Amino acid sequence: MTGDLLPLLRPKDYAAPSVFEPANLLREARRQKRLVVEDVPRVALLDPDGDIVRYLATSGHGRRHQGWACYHTDMWTTDLDGTEVGVVGMAVGAPFAVLVAEQLAVSGAELVLSITSAGQIAPLPHTPCFVLLERALRDEGTSVHYLPPSRWSRLDRRLRERLDGAFAGLPEPVLTGASWTTDAPYRETASQIEAARIEGALCVEMEAAALYAYATARDRSVVCLAHVTNTMATQGSDFEKGPTNGVHAALAVVRAVAQALG
């Protein structure tokens, strides 16, 4: 009997195709908006805070992509040492991040990166810093629609191996570790934080577990990094990303990943 179960926990047919497909949505968006048919860059970046998008839009270092047909976002592109990267801002939270990742994949993106601000929940040698997320605790709902329930979503092993040594010499350190992905940032209680810390999470964020589950289920290349910038405003003088709101440091990480996986 499943009648009394929370719908999220009811058994799902993971092999069944979806009736609602991203390609069909984008087809209608192009028709309604009279957009040109133009693939997005092979490398795409999710920028949940929007700092990189704002920088590209105002600095002259980016151009608005004329074929990106998402109803909810714009895309700005920039060249990083010969690699064109399409940046989509404000895709905050697991459902929205995966929605955009699905649309990127059918629009021509072969590699999706996510660099999200994250709260520190375990001791780190230096902040701000980046953490390459090898795994993420699945404390959100989106991943359950892509993979059967389990504790962790994981970065593809082959991608992880190719990233060995890729971050040497960058402006900010890039550690490797785990995160806790939550759907409810204002329910990060002391007991939940401690439980995640005991399991090995270094930080808390809102997208990685779902993005990795999507990547595994759809056989897509996705790499998630956390930019650890805060202690959830518990100590004051928090949420500092460094010069230019961390844009140049983040783009250096994107460049390193693109070169390693290109």
- Which one has a higher pLDDT value, 192 or 262? 192
In this prediction the pTM is: 0.96
Residue 2 scores a pLDDT above 70: no
Name the residue ranges covered by the structural domains of the chain. Answer: 36-261
36-261 to CATH, choices 3.40.50.620, 3.30.70.141, 3.40.50.1580, 3.30.1490.100: 3.40.50.1580
Q: Is 9 exposed, middle or buried (0-12, 13-18, 19+ CB in 10 A)?
A: exposed
Burial 211-227 (b: 16+ CB within 10 A, else e): bbbbbbeeebbbbbbbb
Structure tokens belonging to residue 215: 């990547």
How many CA atoms does the CB half-sphere of 175 hold within 13 Å? 21
Span 26-38, pLDDT tens digits: 999 999 999 999 9
Q: What is the mean pLDDT of the chain?
A: 96
- pLDDT score for 1: 52
Give the whole-angstrom CA distance, residue 90 versus residue 77: 15
The whole-number pLDDT of residue 239 equals 87
User: Across residues 184-208, what is the average pLDDT?
Assistant: 98
Query: What local confidence, expressed as pLDDT, does residue 126 receive?
Result: 87
